């Protein structure tokens, strides 16, 4: 079984309240190393057999059209996962 990873993040200019909440909470737990946090999504798409170029192309279309909201999100990665 092959697997395609799709990564979606909020656009840099869009406020990310979840990320901000985490960034605000981390120092209270002793994590002072991090200056900012942004939270996005990671999808795993399973395919039968190996990942083909056609499946990758379909995943890119699905990423743009169904897995992300292009108004507020960017697709930052679509790639076959090493098994």
Which residue ranges make up the site for a copy of itself (CB under 8 A)?
Answer: 1, 4, 7-9, 19, 22, 25-26, 29, 31, 33-48, 54-55, 58-59, 61-62, 65-67
- C-beta of residue 72 within 8 angstroms of C-beta of residue 7: no
Q: Is 30 left (phi over 0), alpha (psi -120 to 50) or beta?
A: left
CB of 56 to a copy of itself, least distance (A): 10
CB of 7 to a copy of itself, least distance (A): 5
CA distance 64 to 59: 9
Nearer residue to a copy of itself within complex by CB, 14 or 25: 25
CB of 30 to a copy of itself, least distance (A): 9
């Amino acid at each position: 079984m092959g697997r395609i990873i799709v990564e979606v993040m909020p656009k840099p200019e869009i406020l990310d309240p979840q990320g901000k909440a985490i960034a605000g909470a981390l120092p209270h737990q002793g994590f002072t190393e991090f200056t900012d946090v942004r939270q996005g999504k990671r999808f795993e798409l399973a395919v039968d057999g190996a990942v083909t170029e056609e499946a990758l192309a379909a995943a890119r279309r699905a990423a743009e059209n169904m897995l992300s909201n292009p108004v507020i999100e960017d697709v930052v990665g679509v790639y076959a996962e090493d098994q």
